[in-house]
Amino acid sequence: MSDSNEVVTDPRLEKRTRRRFSVAERKRLLAEADALPYGQKGAWLRRKGLYAGQLSTWRKELAEHGEAGLAARKPGRKAADPRDKEIERLKKTNARLEKRAYVAEQLVGIQKKILHIFETDNSEPKS
């Protein structure tokens, strides 16, 4: 027995990378999976190191978008369209101006009521 408690790791596992499949490879794997007899799919998936969810996602993308759906996409958020930013800015400006117009209309209404009250007080005869 060794006196050391150090765990030696397998150098092959040190740097793991995500597997990437080309369009042709995805189509080939889908065709292979579809050609399998009943009950063989699980073993085939384990041998290939795949998940059933990957195959279903690939099938869905292929059905919806064709081969372009299977092509690799850049990860992360899509770049914001400058037109969308401009629309959002204009919506905020419009909401702010609508609020100011509403307040101005309410103030004009109050001024009219006050003017009406003063006019009625001045028109009454004083005794």
Query: Rounded mean pLDDT of the chain?
Result: 87
Distance CA 109, CA 112 (A): 5
Distance CA 119, CA 117 (A): 5
Q: Which amino acid is at 20?
A: R
Q: pLDDT of 70-86, one tens digit each?
A: 787 777 888 888 999 99
List per-residue pLDDT tens for the chain, 127 residues long: 556 788 777 777 777 677 888 889 999 999 999 999 999 999 999 999 999 999 999 999 888 888 887 787 777 888 888 999 999 999 999 999 999 999 999 999 999 999 998 888 777 666 5
